[in-house]
Structure 1
């Protein structure tokens, strides 16, 4: 089954039909005219704003802090321009290999879970893998929002885990329901990292809410895992080493 067209796919096709550049109004009109994407907003008047926000997330010169994947567009006076393939590759190469990030608003929680009082998560990659699995189980995927780019984790750090990068492939394969997720292209890798980051952020949000009024120590983490295991109708011998 092929991947469902995204709002970015629609914007690319619209800009191609416009000769490579156009205003937001022109891009939106082409998308509607050619039935390229179903916005599904409760208020149709919100659709252009949604389009504008999502295009900016794929702009190489946007000042947003929630960019996702490889850039596809560039902001120009009065609208947007479609990047060529060589421009995309040049931008990706200049930015270096994709790093794994986490949201700034989870830093206190991360510090507490990595403390000696818990003693399970000796490295950040262990905690992010744990959180991502919680996010997937609870179907909670949250964009990162504000990040500290200096705290991005090189993917090689995850090389100590035998299930990496397989876990990324599986998460994205299920999320997109398409074998495109297994591609070795830069865009496919970017999508896999985004899926992992957002599920990890969702898992951290669940942990953050759970421990809002509780002490964080080893027993509390074990109880958290045990309670969710019982909810799934399973009883397991807990081994929290990752």
Structure 2
């Protein structure tokens, strides 16, 4: 089964270009890299942005089954609570990609505000953002472990 191209909002095209422009301050190699980070950030921040007008889509063939598709599946499943979204058919693929595309659209706004507010410091801002996310996840893990310890007799 051939997969459709992955959509990006037309109004975000300039952000994708800026974040991948190595002659300026772009810190990402490909649109796919930006898209995957943006989808993750959008999900973590619960920022999902539906859109209609699409820029040129990203070919599904550039995505990696073991990492990219696994993350997309996990987020789609968490959002939908519907195991059928993981089926290998066009309808399920469209549903899960729409979820991730909308999270990527929302997440790109977060990335843009944090990284492009001062483009010369984009790489430093990116590292700070990753460290902040890592600390937040570690805090949640510690809190969950504490709760589990309290509940175990």
Query: TM-score, normalization: structure 1?
Result: 0.51
Q: Deviations over 1:14-40 (max 9, x none)?
A: xxxxxxxxxxxxxxxxxxxxxxxxxxx
Q: Which moved more, 1:171-180 or 1:113-122?
A: 113-122
Structure ranking higher in strand proportion: 1
Alignment-derived partner of residue 196 in structure 1: 100
Alignment-derived partner of residue 109 in structure 1: 15
Alignment-derived partner of residue 145 in structure 2: none
Residue correspondence of structure 1 range 57-68 to structure 2 within 5 A: none
Query: TM-score, normalization: structure 2?
Result: 0.76
Question: 1:182: how far off?
Answer: 1.4
Q: Is the 8 A contact 1:106 1:208 kept in 2?
A: no
- State the alpha-carbon separation in 2 of the partners of residues 212 and 120 from structure 1: 11
Structure 1 unaligned spans of 5+: 1-92, 235-242
* 1:144 lines up with 2:51 in the alignment: yes
Q: 2:39 aligns with which of 112, 132, 142?
A: 132
Cα RMSD of the aligned pairs, angstroms, is 2.4
Change (3 A) 1:213 1:125: closer
* 1:225 lines up with 2:130 in the alignment: yes
Structure 2 unaligned spans of 5+: 140-153
Alignment-derived partner of residue 59 in structure 2: 154
Query: How many correspondences in the alignment?
Result: 137
- State the alpha-carbon separation in 2 of the partners of residues 147 and 167 from structure 1: 22
Question: 1:118: how far off?
Answer: 5.0
Structure ranking higher in helix proportion: 2
Question: 1:123: how far off?
Answer: 1.4
Q: Which has the higher contact order (CA 8 A, sep 6+)?
A: 2
Higher alpha-carbon Rg: 1
Change (3 A) 1:214 1:104: same
- State the alpha-carbon separation in 2 of the partners of residues 130 and 137 from structure 1: 11
